[in-house]
Amino acid sequence: MTDFTKTIALEQAVPEKPVLTILYQDEYLVAVDKPAGLFVHRSFMDRDEIYFALQLVRDQIGQYVYPVHRLDRPTSGVLLFALTKEVAQKLNEAFANKSNNDGVNEINSESALTKTYYALVRGHLPITAQAELVDYPLKEKLDKLGDKNVSRDKAPQSAKTYYQVIKQASLPITLGKFDSVRYSLVKLLPITGRRHQIRRHLAHLRHPIIGDINYGDNKQNPFFIQYFGFKRLMLIAKSLCFIHPITKQKITITAEFDPQWQHVFTEFNWSFDECTL
């Protein structure tokens, strides 16, 4: 193989560099719409990865950025970065307080940092006029390598998530012992910020998120891939609301449902307006 053909083969093997949608930017902050499957930054799990959200944002805006919170690799949606160390520190404190918050009333606070997620889950959760609360403590989720020196004997941590079912849908297809395949679209507002909290709380309710390989359904997930034609976790960080650390203004940043979500909505004949309460 010549040097020229080696170069061509290498270029063909490297995927095209993604361009992230910037949802908000000022002189202190930048927020992007992170696609599902993209790591926020390098970790011990990313040996085969080429691109990371932190690097992509840095390259797009031409300056260094500081992560202030994280989204799991399979989760899409609003991802916020700070543009200075000082702003990053303030926001890191706000997100840390959010993670450790044990007060249910925080959801109604005008100054609260509020994250809103949407998930597509297995089965029909009851539709209610008001949000329901999952108050179910969780054992700390540790990495085998990254947290190898952390004690495994810690007591479960308080974990609370509000949820409200927005839509239900059924497909008249037999799957296993059931004569139809059922789904619910759920809006979620986590009060605390434990690792995989939303995914684990929905699994606790026996309505795991579609595409969740850790806590999901081993019949529903393969069916979804075959029927809809794509594989992913159906969880989106839809909006982030917080008080700006410098201007003290209330900021709300929202991501749109991507084409894969839109495909599901079209299949179920769901209206976008009705699905974003």
- The active-site residue, picked from 59, 72, 135, 147, is 72
Give the side-chain half-sphere CA count within 13 A for 204: 17
Tell me if residue 72 is catalytic: yes
Q: Which residues are catalytic?
A: 72
